[in-house]
């Protein structure tokens, strides 16, 4: 793994798979999730299909720069956004998080890349397509939404599990991974694997403080619907029919508002990327990226 200074005061931890001579593919992970949530087999599978795969930790997560002590009330930000009131100050928005990814491409000397984002990462790559259109070969938005609260609503149980403060003690944190089953694929969800991932995540970087600032960034950025209508990057939207954290309507709406976007609604997929579905992801994603490059 390596580290890149991408803007004043912000450094990103990243690593790569495959040959730098191949087309670049930037992977952007979601809310509080470290880059290791793009597991090694997933990254290698895409590299084997001819892509230079780059994954990284978002700011305030993993081993990237953390905004220690920067206070924010995400619920106050959400309330202000929903009522069209002036927003309270926030440390950053999704625009800055999108610029971080573009800064990483600059660091690597990559002029244009395919960008793939999952959950909040999908929101970030949407901002890349809106604000940095010349840097994208294509965009793939996975289990994400436009920011319009009418679409992609979470079930009460899933939202409660997401917002619950995680246990601080290691063993309790690992056991708490069971709550992820609320939004996991019904067919492929594996509590044992979830606990293994929780242990790896805890040992690498347990940092729940960053979650409030990332959540505030989502709320402060607001509804992207009208701006997404201007996106020209060839777009693929992937969403699971079992997703209870960001409901399938979030993906459907994303594809509706982006001109020419393709939509894949997948059975047996929740708010996760099950290994059993990796071959489908590889085929669909590589087909989309080849099509985009051939245009």
pTM, 2 dp? 0.97
Domain assignment present for 260: yes
**DSSP letter, residue 53:** E
Residue position matching structure tokens 């010349």: 134
Q: Which two tokens stand for residue 171?
A: 């063993």
| Pair 17, 108: CB distance under 8 Å | no
Average pLDDT over residues 66-92: 94
- Expressed in angstroms, the distance from the first to the final Cα of the chain is 34
| Pair 139, 254: CB distance under 8 Å | no
The helix/strand/coil state of 62 is coil
Domain assignment present for 71: yes
Domain assignment present for 115: yes
Listed in sequence order, the residues at least 6 apart from 176 whose beta carbon sits closer than 8 Å to its beta carbon are 166, 167, 198
**Is residue 239 over pLDDT 90?**
yes
pLDDT on residue 186: 92
Domain assignment present for 113: yes
CATH number (domain holding residue 56) = 3.40.50.1820
Of 176, 290, 193, 158, the residue nearest 236 (C-alpha): 290
**DSSP letter, residue 90:** -
Average pLDDT over residues 169-191: 93
Domain assignment present for 45: yes
Domain assignment present for 183: no
Domain of residue 142, residue span: 2-155+210-294
Q: Which two tokens stand for residue 216?
A: 């505030």
Q: Residue 242 and residue 183: Cα distance in Å, rounded?
A: 7
pLDDT single digits (tens) 195-218: 999 999 999 999 999 999 999 999
pLDDT on residue 1: 78
Domain assignment present for 270: yes
pLDDT single digits (tens) 5-50: 998 899 999 999 999 999 999 999 999 999 999 999 999 999 999 9
Q: Residue 293 and residue 169: Cα distance in Å, rounded?
A: 48
Q: Which two tokens stand for residue 275?
A: 């290994």
Domain assignment present for 169: no
Q: Residue 231 and residue 202: Cα distance in Å, rounded?
A: 37
Number of compact structural domains in the chain: 1
pLDDT single digits (tens) 273-284: 999 999 999 999
């Amino acid at each position: 793994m390596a580290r890149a200074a991408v803007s004043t005061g912000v450094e990103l931890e990243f690593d790569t798979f495959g040959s730098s001579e191949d087309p670049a593919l930037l992977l952007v992970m979601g809310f509080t999730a470290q880059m290791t949530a793009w597991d090694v087999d997933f990254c290698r599978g895409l590299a084997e299909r001819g892509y230079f795969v780059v994954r990284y930790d978002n700011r305030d997560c993993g081993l990237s720069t953390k905004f220690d002590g920067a206070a924010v009330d995400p619920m106050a930000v959400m309330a202000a956004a929903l009522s069209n009131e002036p927003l309270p100050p926030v440390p950053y928005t999704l625009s800055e998080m999108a610029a971080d990814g573009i800064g990483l491409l600059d660091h690597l000397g990559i002029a244009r890349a395919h960008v793939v984002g999952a959950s909040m990462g999908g929101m970030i790559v949407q901002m890349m397509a809106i604000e940095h259109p010349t840097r994208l070969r294509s965009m793939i938005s996975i289990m994400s939404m436009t920011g319009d609260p009418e679409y992609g609503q979470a079930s009460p149980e899933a939202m409660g599990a997401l917002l619950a403060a995680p246990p601080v003690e290691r063993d309790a944190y690992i056991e708490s991974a069971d709550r992820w089953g609320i939004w996991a694929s019904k067919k492929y969800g594996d509590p044992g694997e979830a606990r293994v991932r929780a242990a790896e995540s805890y040992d690498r970087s347990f940092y729940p403080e960053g979650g409030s600032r990332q959540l505030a960034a989502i709320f402060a950025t607001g509804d992207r619907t009208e701006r997404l209508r201007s996106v020209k990057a060839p777009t693929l939207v992937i969403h699971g029919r079992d997703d209870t954290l960001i409901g399938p309507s979030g993906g459907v709406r994303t594809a509706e508002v982006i001109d020419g976007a393709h939509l894949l609604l997948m059975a047996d997929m929740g708010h996760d990327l099950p290994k059993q579905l990796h071959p489908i992801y590889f085929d669909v994603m590589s087909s989309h990226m080849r099509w985009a490059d051939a245009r």
